Chain A
Amino acid sequence: MTGLSVSAVTIERGERPLFAPLTFNTDAGALVRVTGENGAGKTTLLRALAGLTSVASGSIQWLSAPSAHYIGAKRVFIGHSNAMNDSLSPYENLAFASGVAGKSVTRAEVRAALARTGVAALIDRRVGSLSQGQKKRVALARLFLPGNETAAWLLDEPFVALDVATQALLAGHIEATLAEGRIVVLTSHQRVDIRATNAIEVTLSAIKAPERLVANEVQA
């Protein structure tokens, strides 16, 4: 069980802060919706949570109970791009993604993961020949690769390019993973219903001029 503590975080792009210092805390099994206008830094915040971008000040801490088997707070980040090579098949892409993280997977495990988003039949097609929606579904299948130690899902606009049925399917998967104690941080312009007992909304306000240092709202 892993909690997340974000305290007074600022992130800079081109020597300018994106948003006012951000602070929020969550326990295991919490849903964090990140909202804000375009350019407020939603994607950058997710990348920082994934460890892809460094913070200018403040700290991001993944807290884990001492008794738990701790191997670093493993996070799965799915960004705007699907992070797949067009010349490879979904199987090869997913096996690579898992392998690079240090865990080899069997073909059956990849097929099972693809089945969770309904694209098991595409396992050997070239990714380049798939539609946008199919690519997104293959990319999302990364969430279901073996790895019980995964502490958090970081999803940047996961519902884009998905049809309504698949959106509902994904929402169901998110509810299930929350129930298993993972943290889910997501940005979305679509208002997809996700039932969560523990949900917070983090609103980022873009800084346009230095004097507009207003505090970010965090609503429970």
Chain B
Amino acid sequence: MARTEQQSNDRFNGKWFWRYASPAAFYPVAGTIEKLCWFLAISLTIVGLYIGFFRAPTDATQGEVYRVIYIHVPAAWMAMVIYLAMAFWCAIGLAFGTRLSFMMSHALAPTGAIMAAISLWTGALWGRPTWGTYWVWDARLTSTLILFFLYVGYIALAAAFDDKKKGDRASALIALIGAVNVPIIYFSVQWWNTLHQGASVRPGGSSMATIMLTAMMIMAFAFWAYCIAVAMNRLRTQIIERERSAAWIQSSVRK
């Protein structure tokens, strides 16, 4: 009847739902998802941009410039959605120690950062003719800028560790801290914005024609598909890079 104090790490042996948490099992699945999403991304983009550029009418107040929303709004959405997805995988990774979750998060981060950057860039391009200036400290633009900083911090931190495993867990923790803080930052920026009387014109406006909305939703789905496709591609590259010493790589990856 001895009392014990122990460290142990073999939690997940033999449970069916962990099967796809193994990089080896997920590698081919990721390939299939990637192909499907590329197909969706390309076809939805063609349809969405066609409707948006050739079918949707010119905006009464903003003219042709408004058409940037077909890129700008989906990019801004994806920047937020991807951060949440990243935080989700980081939480799973920290809770269960699954390597694939961390890889998933690493695969998503650059795409999220690019989406934030695209949304800032197109926002500036839209702002020039509409507000008469490239940059306005509008609450949404400012929040997206801070979100971009959070992405940069995550990516830089993950790259700062020589020990990949430590880098995984450290960057996951900072992603979670960021996720907890995002609503607070959004709220405080909103507060700051009203305090300082920011601009009130927003891309799109409140009353959108149905056809404009349709084009924007199609583009939003196209962006989803694109982001998933790119993330899966990056994930596969990471799996190969990290598991290169494992035996299964030799047999299943030929090209």
* CB 8 Å contact bits of A25-61 with B (1 = contact, 0 = none): 0000000000000000000000010010011111111
**Using an 8 Å CB-CB cutoff, how does the interface string of B154-180 with A read, 1 for contact, 0 for none?**
000000001111000000000000000
Q: Which of B2, B9, B163 contacts A57 (CB 8 A)?
A: B9
Most interface-central of A13, A59, A72 (chain B CB within 10 A): A59
User: Contact string, A60-77, partner B, CB cutoff 8 A, digits 1/0?
Assistant: 111111100010110000
Interface flag for B242 (CB, 8 Å) = yes
0/1 string, A178-209, CB within 8 A of B gives 1: 00000000000000000000000000000000
B3 CB contacts on chain A under 8 angstroms: 63-64, 66, 70
Query: B10 and A14: CB pair below 8 A?
Result: no
- Considering the complex, give the chain B residue whose CB is closest to the CB of A3: B2
Are B165 and A60 closer than 8 Å at their CB atoms?
A: no
- Report the separation of the CA atoms of residues A3 and B165 in the bound assembly, to the nearest whole angstrom: 32
Q: A132 to chain B: closest CB distance in Å?
A: 28
For the complex, is A149 an interface residue (Cβ under 8 Å from B)? no
Is A163's CB within 8 Å of the partner chain B? no
Compute how far the CA of A64 lies from the CA of B245 in the bound complex, rounded to whole angstroms.
41
Kindly state whether residue B1 has any CB partner on chain A within 8 Å: yes
A139–B7 Cα distance when bound, in Å, is 28
User: A55, B9: Cβ atoms under 8 Å?
Assistant: yes
Q: A15 and B164: CB pair below 8 A?
A: yes
Name the one of B2, B7, B10, B163 contacting A65, with C-beta atoms under 8 angstroms. Answer: B2
A70 to B5, CA, bound (A): 11
Supposing A57-B10, A210-B245 touch, asked if A14 and B5 sit within 8 A by C-beta, the answer is: no
Total interface residues on A, using CB and 8 Å?
24
Q: Is A12 an interface residue (CB 8 A)?
A: yes
Q: Mark A1-17, 1 if CB is under 8 A from B, else 0.
A: 00100000000111100
Q: Is the CB of B162 within 8 A of A64?
A: no
Q: A55 CA to B8 CA in the complex, in Å?
A: 7
CA distance A55 to B165 in the complex (A): 13
Tell me, rounded to whole Å, the shortest Cβ–Cβ distance linking B88 to chain A. 24
In the assembled complex, the Cα of A116 lies from the Cα of B28 at a distance in Å of 64
Q: Is B206 an interface residue (CB 8 A)?
A: no
Closest-by-CB residue of B relative to A9 is B7
Nearest Cβ distance between residue A9 and chain B, in whole angstroms?
9
A63-B3 Cα distance, complex, nearest whole Å: 6
Residue ranges of B at the interface with A (Cβ–Cβ < 8 Å): 1-10, 162-165, 242, 245
Which A residues are within 8 Å of any B CB, using their own CB? Answer: 3, 12-15, 48, 51, 54-66, 70, 72-73, 210
Q: Shortest 3 CB-CB distances between A and B: which pairs?
A: A63-B2, A59-B6, A61-B6
Contacts A15-B164, A60-B6 known; 4 new A-B pairs at CB < 8 A: A15-B165, A54-B9, A66-B1, A73-B5
Can you list 30 A-B pairs, Cβ within 8 angstroms, ordered by A?
A13-B163, A14-B162, A14-B163, A14-B164, A15-B164, A15-B242, A48-B7, A51-B7, A54-B7, A55-B7, A55-B9, A56-B9, A57-B9, A59-B6, A60-B6, A61-B4, A61-B6, A62-B4, A62-B5, A63-B2, A63-B3, A63-B4, A64-B2, A64-B3, A66-B1, A66-B2, A66-B3, A70-B3, A72-B5, A210-B245
